[in-house]
Structure 1
Amino acid sequence: MIANRTLELLSLLQTQKEWTGDGLAERLGVSPRTVRRDINRLRELGYPVTATKGPSGYYRLSRGARLPPLIVDDEQALAIALSLQTAPASVTGMGDATKRALNSIRELLPPHLAHRLATFSIEQIENAWELAPPQVDPALLAQLSTAAQQRDLVRFSYRSVGLDAEDSEVLAEPHRLVVWSGRWYLVGYDQQRRSWHAYRLDRIRHLTLTSWRFRERQVPDDDITRFVQNQPDRGDAPESWPCWGTVLMECPAQLVAKWAPGAASFQAIDDRITRIRMGAWSWSALIGFLITFSCRFTVEGPPELVEAARKVMGRIDVEITRPHGEPRPGRGPGLSAGASG
């Protein structure tokens, strides 16, 4: 009973910045004296609960100098364990740490929770159709996260997505880290170019923190996902994939931005034509992704992609069944591809 009440008290202190003693006593259904005893119990466990005296006094959970023992309820414990089992592998070297954390939680679970967790036997299987994201350095994540929180300017070299692109020097105001399609982005403001960008973390090199601070700015789009998706240079670098190609597609850029995989970059040519650049593990797989748009496209290159398009078109042969069940041969969906130049 005491342990459950202490857990509930900790939860209240975590969900609201300040609580009066009477307010806590009312929520817990105990006397203010019992609240004071429970507060002292939390302090003994290592939770830094501060208090102010007087008629307007309050309790507050502050940041401590060390990590106190975690106190979570049953559902929170299961949520943590399941999250660790299904954690994405887009950060370098985190696999072993994730396994150790999961083992530590399993050893601490009471029997009834351990039994419940055992019923969730999860085995992640890689989907070959998904374009695997490049991994990023956890140290880079920590540096950029800290810089964004403290509003510190950062410098770094950045590689654009073009096949012959060169590194550019960026002086950026880091705003937020975003994960989309397993790929990490830094949403930041480029002071030299005076524009907002979504930088791929796997293409950032030589990051340095400056001693300069910046004022908070308003991101130009309230929908951060839409902002990242609409970045033309958002995709994977060419060296990320063995096969890489470019096509002109009869599809508006806003639709390409929304539905193209995270590995793809794009360029609006006009209101109806969009240039798409992306890579894949094989030329046929690359054609397969392009076919999903169900519109005409022209292959700009390389020659291997042109040849793959011709082979795929020759293989598509869909049987059209008549109402009485008699099959007749017919051509497949309206796939049209050609090579420019």
Structure 2
Amino acid sequence: MSEIATRTLEILGLLQAQKEWTGEDLARRLTVSTRTIRRDVQRLRELGYPVDASRGPGGTYRLVPGSTLPPLIFDQDQAIAIALALQTAPSSIQDMGDSVTRALRTITDLMPYDLARRLKTFDVAKIENAWDMAPPTVTPAMLALLSSAAQDRELVKFQYRSKLVDSQDDIPVIAEPHRLVVWSGRWYLIAFNQRQHSWHAYRLDRISDLRSPGWRFTPREFPEDSVARFIQLQPDRGDATDSWPCRGTVRMDCPVDLVAKWAPGGANIESIDNDTTRISMGAWSWAGLLGLLATFDCEFVVEEPPELASEAARVADRLRRAGNGLLR
């Protein structure tokens, strides 16, 4: 029985590692007959593993999606990779902390002693960094609905709060979802807006009243070569005005492509001309905001608010004194 159980688990591991196996390849790999392979595959089915078989010469076996999640088998490198991924999971998804902790405990509790001991050397502590421009959170339910709609080519309807519209009212949207993207901790839906007949990147934290009525659509070809560039160049990509205690807008002598590439994920940008960009973003202090803007190493003019302009003059004096002290 021990030999049968070991071989059955070996077959499961092979089916998980490679999409498809012929019965003869499995038999040769495990040095048994194809009849024995058929019996072992049947045992896997009885244990809840959905193994599909094609008949005839050269028939193959493969794992297919089932109605439940059966136990999985990982090699040592896979187990460590999963454990590390769980410890460093993004914090921008609501209510996932307990699920992540339980999943990590489940994996480590079932590990052999040597592997569990090795994993302890990868114990990771996450520390929040203010320079990361902490993102707002989204719900797993929203991610699941939008992901399924994009996969099944079903329209979605929602209300969207845009920073580009003066009205405080949300905008109704009917969209063809293309894909989900996470950038700088912020979640975006790339979709084609049927009312506006154009492509957009929607911030998930600004979506409300999300529904999928079940209407199908014919997929369109995404017009851009780079998803990253498309999102970075969206003028409405950044955080809401009240997300930071200090928020300002400057006109910067720098092309929009360069600003979009290096600006924090929470910033909003607008192209004025080929060499000038307007950027709005927030920070924990006026000095902190100026520090972020200064990283572009180009001329800029403060447009608003007056507090940012006053802080720019004060910081300029402070930096001038710092430089003079070294030059004496």
Q: How many residues align?
A: 324
- Residues 96-151 of structure 1, C-alpha deviations (whole Å, 9 max, x = no match): 22112212222111111110111122111111222001111221111111111111
1:232 and 1:37 map into 2 onto residues whose CA distance is 60
Aligned residue for 2:216?
213
Are the aligned partners of 1:247 and 1:298 in contact in 2 as well (CA < 8 Å)? yes
Instruction: Name the SS for the 2:224 alignment partner.
Output: coil
Structure-2-length-normalised TM-score: 0.91
Structure-1-length-normalised TM-score: 0.88
CA change 1:128–1:42 in 2 (3 A) is same
- Residues 316-335 of structure 1, C-alpha deviations (whole Å, 9 max, x = no match): 144489xxxxx524xxxxxx
Alignment of 1:287-306 (within 5 A): 287-306=290-309
Are the aligned partners of 1:264 and 1:276 in contact in 2 as well (CA < 8 Å)? yes
Instruction: Name the SS for the 1:212 alignment partner.
Output: coil
For residue 40 of structure 1, report the CA deviation from its aligned partner: 2.8
Between 1:163-172 and 1:41-50, the stretch displaced more is 163-172
Aligned residue for 1:147?
149
Percent identity between matched residues is 60
Between 1:147-156 and 1:4-13, the stretch displaced more is 4-13
Aligned residue for 2:195?
192
More helix by share: 2
2:314 and 2:40 map into 1 onto residues whose CA distance is 73
Are the aligned partners of 1:174 and 1:188 in contact in 2 as well (CA < 8 Å)? yes
- Residues 185-237 of structure 1, C-alpha deviations (whole Å, 9 max, x = no match): 00111111111111100011111212210111111123222221122211111
The one-letter code of the counterpart of 2:317 is G
2:164 and 2:316 map into 1 onto residues whose CA distance is 28
Aligned residue for 1:105?
107
Aligned residue for 2:184?
181
1:148 and 1:202 map into 2 onto residues whose CA distance is 18
Aligned residue for 2:327?
328
Aligned residue for 1:171?
174
Alignment of 1:69-108 (within 5 A): 69-108=71-110
Are the aligned partners of 1:162 and 1:238 in contact in 2 as well (CA < 8 Å)? no
Q: Structure 2 unaligned segments of length 5 or more: list them.
A: none
Q: 2:56 aligns with which of 54, 62, 65?
A: 54
CA change 1:195–1:12 in 2 (3 A) is farther
Q: 2:248 aligns with which of 228, 237, 245?
A: 245
1:104 and 1:15 map into 2 onto residues whose CA distance is 21
Between 1:250-259 and 1:13-22, the stretch displaced more is 13-22
Are the aligned partners of 1:263 and 1:278 in contact in 2 as well (CA < 8 Å)? yes
Aligned residues: CA RMSD: 2.1
CA change 1:30–1:298 in 2 (3 A) is farther
For residue 74 of structure 1, report the CA deviation from its aligned partner: 1.2
Aligned residue for 2:259?
256
